[in-house]
Structure 1
Amino acid sequence: MPELARETITDVIARMGLSHTESQALWAECDLSSVPSQVEVLTAHIGAADAAPWPRGMSPNAALLAILATVPHTECWNAGHRVPTEVTEATIADIGTKLRLYGLELTGIDWFASIVQARVFTLGRLQFEVGAFCPPTDESAWALHVPELGPLTPAACDDSIGSAASFFDAVFGDTTTRTIVCSSWLLDAQLTEYLPADSNILDFQRRFTIFDGGHDTDAGDQDVAKFIFRRPLSELAAVTPKTRLETAALGHLAAGRHWREPSGYLRL
């Protein structure tokens, strides 16, 4: 790989807040031959309607290096498409946050690819992803995600949701999409058994019309383990709960029940 590209990636790694040890581990025993061409593919798909393909056999570290090398191109595209600097910074910062909290394997390379392809944007407390679809209304939608940015207060959610239409109008010229969809354990109605009615999570739930109540599988359990406890489901036996939510999550699983990932939508 050209030295300049390596310097660029090193700079991005530093901005992600990764340690020197973590940085060195990325380069170790990694075949870099496919990285430059994948950067070109990712760059060509910035702002595109379709997601970039990935070559077969590309190692996880090489894929992540390609993501990091694409970041400056994403920042350039954003600047040229009226994306506010603070939105770009907050969106790109999510790469470092997810790597520190969950690592590459638990996060998945597709999430990072969506960020550098300008498909995901952090607007205040919430994230919005282009290219979603709402089955009940048979129309295009933005997918809503909840990043790790502190309390999910009603006011913060109001501000984020309220800014979505004007943001996508300005950046993509999207004057028709006015529906938001969300699929998350946060929408699981079983949480009403454990949380007070005025909790932030239940307030968040009430914003959505549920069109798929989710299913009793390990998928919801795995997301609860990931997003509440920051670890795989297989490691929850060693956890001592510290909050009402953690106690509820573990007690529910201990009772032989599953957490679900319902899907809902809201109209602006």
Structure 2
Amino acid sequence: MTQHAALVDLEAVERDEPVSWELVDKLGALIRRTEGVPHPIDPGASGAAVARALIELVPVALERHREADVPAGVTRETLIDVGRKHRLYGAASVVPWMLELMRADVLSAGRLQVSMRESEHGHHLHVPELGPLLPADVDAALARASELTGSARYACTSWLLDLRLSSALAGSNIAAFAERFDIVSGDEETLLASEEAARFVFRRPLVEVLDPALPTKSRLERVVASALRRGRNWTMPTGVLKARHSH
């Protein structure tokens, strides 16, 4: 096991997968480029091959983070998400996200992640798969995000802000998180939102969640699956953080 594999939590991949140096060159050019990461990206390789190439590019990522003056602890927290996403979804399907992490375009802020590039509504917040959205943890993440960005303008685009979800989960941590935002767009039902919900909640593709034989264990799983199995898609609203929650 090398230190680089440990930083991105991909020790098993390093042990079992050969390196494609052509893929290393291709992905390395995207990490080094001045412009943002293109979406989507077809790496033309398996998830394991992409993950193995990214291990070789950790030194390039560390250089990008140092150039951006990212604190070492934040770099460690950020890069660990590369391994997490590979195990959940396969690296080939989320290449743009992994490159944004390695380029320091997206950084860990504790319970949340934050885009360092400012959009129309502010810096976008992202919710990693790290368990409950405890309000105190979200408060701390917003404070950390403000330290990293120097801003108090934040937005979030997520199926977690679907008003039907907040209503069905009234009193929950998810509802409390959604209540922090004023919805400004994106209230139409979309297949993409349903795919994101299925992946986030069940760690499975949408087609598997639609199967009534798949059991639902938690309140959140029952709510998400019930809507999907009735033929309703979820929405993916964009919300702007309310002023009283700004840090």
Q: Do they fold alike, i.e. is TM over 0.5?
A: yes
For 2:115, the equivalent position in structure 1 comes to 129
189, 198, 202: which is aligned to 1:216?
Answer: 189
TM-score by length of 1: 0.78
Distance 1:56 1:210 in 2: 32
Matched, 1:147 2:135: no
Q: Which amino acid aligns with 1:150?
A: G
CA deviation after TM superposition for structure 1 residue 60, in Å: 4.7
**CA separation of 1:56 and 1:44: change in aligned 2, threshold 3 A:** same
Distance 2:106 2:130 in 1: 16
For the 8 Å contact 2:134–2:173, the answer to whether it is kept is yes
- Write out aligned runs for 1:1-268 (5 A): 11-18=3-10, 20=12, 22-23=13-14, 26-27=17-18, 31-36=20-25, 38-39=27-28, 41-45=29-33, 48=34, 50-51=36-37, 58-60=44-46, 63-79=50-66, 81-106=68-93, 108-134=94-120, 141-169=122-150, 177-196=151-170, 198-236=171-209, 237=211, 238-266=213-241, 267=243, 268=246
Which of 1 and 2 has greater Rg?
1
For the 8 Å contact 2:42–2:92, the answer to whether it is kept is no
Q: Which amino acid aligns with 2:192?
A: A
**CA separation of 1:260 and 1:38: change in aligned 2, threshold 3 A:** closer
Give the CA RMSD over aligned residues.
2.8
TM-score by length of 2: 0.84
Point out 4+ residue stretches in structure 1 off by more than 6 angstroms: 52-57
Say which SS state the counterpart of residue 57 (structure 2) adopts.
Answer: helix
Render the CA deviation track for 1:43-76: whole Å, top value 9, x for unaligned.
533xx56337999875355544443322223224
Unpaired runs of at least 5, structure 2: none
CA deviation after TM superposition for structure 1 residue 233, in Å: 0.5
For the 8 Å contact 1:213–1:262, the answer to whether it is kept is yes
**CA separation of 1:185 and 1:43: change in aligned 2, threshold 3 A:** closer
**CA separation of 1:154 and 1:87: change in aligned 2, threshold 3 A:** same
Say which SS state the counterpart of residue 124 (structure 2) adopts.
Answer: strand
CA deviation after TM superposition for structure 1 residue 193, in Å: 3.5
